[in-house]
Amino acid sequence: MQLHNKVDKRVLKEQLLASNEERTTISFYKYVRIGNPQIFRDHLFLNWSELGVFGRVHVATEGINAQISVPTDKLDEFVQFISTIEFLQGIGLNFAVEDNGKSFYKLTIKVRDKILADGLNDESFDASNKGQHLHADEWNALMDDPNSILIDMRNHYESEVGHFKGAIAPDVDTFATSLDVIDQMMEKHKDKNIMMYCTGGIRCEKASAYYKHRGYKNVYQLEGGIIKYAHEAKEQGLENKFIGKNFVFDERLGESITPEIIAQCHQCGQPCDTHVNCKHVGCNLLFIQCDKCKDEFEGTCSPECQHIIHLPEDEQKLKRKGIDKGQNIFKKGRSPHLKFKHAGVKEIPDMPGMREL
């Protein structure tokens, strides 16, 4: 009984890129008590493997968080399967806005302490006392209320390429870091309408309960996040108040919600919102790079990294031996040689650490 994928990831990526199979990218989450996450994890892996599901899934005693792609011709079977799990019956599925079928190349399901790293002590507050969910039409209406403050609950490398008009965002690397930063900055605004949004809704689900516990009176969250908002706005003919690209945590690294490009190449400053990882695997920095700079620097983030990728492989291994740069993916553009990171975006004077978008 095989419960893990053992094929080299480079082979799997090549297979995915060469495949013409139509696949549908989906995300969903559910906060629910799971008695034995390991057994549940193995059950999912066996059944989803048979269906050809790829993706990244976290399971914990507090629930499930899944970003996956399903063969389109197996989509009905997939929905039928999850309906056999009582607590997933009728769950809302977020379908990708812009999908090339190349979002994931293998199935990874991990048992974690939490389905989302939030840094919170859940026993210290009532996590079920969440904020009010708003659909796209309700969200647009409340955005127009002068008593509303719109907060982007995502990280700096996400809000940089796309965001709601007039939102403010913490200049942070992780969701866990953002919670206290936002709380400190919003302390004097506890009577206002606090509107929060994220990619698919999971971050706001926990954050809204935390802020209600902290004394915020009117807390709202975007139902289904940016992904569902984009679908609802299009289906209902509403004004789409989100501009730019929605950053996603898969091989696509983004999906265009509107055609505007609001970010810039971190190397030359030209309009660009294409994310790449530095080709020097010992660096792996996630940053924005235009086609011109991609050619000039051969997909690397700096002349130093460009030099290293031309060294013999054994020399490259010696240079990166004992150095873990894997987490650079969460430090997008935070490097002194990238001059155009957040260029032109100013901090809010009375809210240090918050950026006006």
Neighbours of 32 (CB within 10 A): 15
Distance from C-alpha of 305 to C-alpha of 279, rounded to nearest angstrom: 8
Neighbours of 238 (CB within 10 A): 15
Distance from C-alpha of 219 to C-alpha of 38, rounded to nearest angstrom: 35
User: Residue 78: which of 37, 111, 107 has the closest Cα?
Assistant: 107
Find how far residue 181's CA is from the centre of its chain: 19
Q: Which residues are marked as active site?
A: 198
Q: What are phi and psi of 250, to 5 degrees?
A: -145, -170
Distance from C-alpha of 149 to C-alpha of 51, rounded to nearest angstrom: 44
Alpha helices by DSSP H, listed for the chain, are 9-18, 37-51, 75-82, 136-143, 156-159, 175-186, 202-213, 225-236, 291-297, 303-308, 313-320
Q: In what order do the strands lie in the sheet with 242-246?
A: 162-164, 242-246, 255-256
Q: Is the dihedral of CA 34, 39, 43, 49 positive or negative?
A: positive
Report the amino acid identity of residue 74: K
The H or E element that residue 60 is part of is strand 54-60
Tally DSSP H helices, then E strands, for the chain. 11, 17
Instruction: Say how many CA atoms lie within 13 Å of 333 toward its Cβ.
Output: 28
User: Residue 168: which of 13, 31, 347, 29 has the closest Cα?
Assistant: 347
Q: Which residues contact 115 (CB under 8 A, 6 or more apart)?
A: 29, 31, 58, 59, 60, 62, 63, 64, 65, 202
